[in-house]
């Protein structure tokens, strides 16, 4: 009996998250004025963030092409590239998802899509935070141990890889919520 109630609760999780007011018989939730404002602001911020992150990636690409062949990108530019990719990922996943959720007010896409999109949403929110931690650690090491850090590409790659892996691992439990 307990497991039936638990499974029913899990099935209704995605549609129940967005319902702050209990549904009365025959009434469906609607998009309120505050919801319309949120959707408009989210769309505006989505356009702004996509434009600026994409333009920065293009700028990094031009810097890379101007470099002499065989020369590697500076550590900071590599870190900024990963941060920008993480921010762009967050922009392209979180903002449209939240905007659509506010427009529809309920979840209509089914349990599988709920799990996948919830995972991607959390992954894309963890990634920029971990990239900022990597940049902070890198800058701290560059100040406290300048000589060993200058030549340590492996450390940089390891920290970046760990940031992406931890983002993936920490987003994993979200799959059990839908």
Which pLDDT value is given to residue 70? 63
Which pLDDT value is given to residue 10? 46
CA distance 103 to 32: 9
Which pLDDT value is given to residue 31? 77
Q: How many CB atoms lie within 10 A of CB 92?
A: 17
Mean pLDDT over each residue of the chain, to the nearest integer: 81
Which pLDDT value is given to residue 50? 96
Give me the residues of the chain with pLDDT under 70, please: 1-28, 66-70, 148-151, 177-178
Considering the entire predicted model, what is its pTM? 0.74
Which pLDDT value is given to residue 161? 95
Domain boundaries 32-176, corresponding CATH code? 1.20.1070.10
């Amino acid at each position: 009996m307990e497991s039936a109630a638990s499974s029913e609760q899990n099935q209704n999780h995605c549609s129940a998250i967005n319902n702050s007011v209990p549904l009365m018989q025959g009434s469906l939730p609607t998009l309120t004025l505050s919801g319309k404002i949120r959707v408009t602001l989210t769309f505006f911020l989505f356009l702004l963030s996509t434009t600026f992150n994409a333009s920065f990636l293009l700028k990094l690409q031009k810097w890379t092409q101007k470099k002499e062949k065989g020369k590697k990108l500076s550590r900071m530019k590599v870190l900024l590239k990963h941060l920008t990719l993480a921010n762009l990922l967050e922009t392209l996943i979180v903002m449209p998802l939240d905007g659509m959720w506010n427009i529809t007010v309920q979840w209509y896409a089914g349990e599988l899509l709920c799990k996948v999109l919830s995972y991607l949403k959390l992954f894309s929110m963890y990634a920029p935070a971990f990239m900022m931690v990597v940049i902070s650690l890198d800058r701290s090491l560059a100040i406290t141990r300048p000589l060993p850090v200058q030549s340590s590409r492996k450390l940089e790659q390891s920290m970046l890889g760990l940031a992406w892996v931890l983002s993936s691992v920490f987003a994993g439990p979200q799959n059990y919520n839908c």
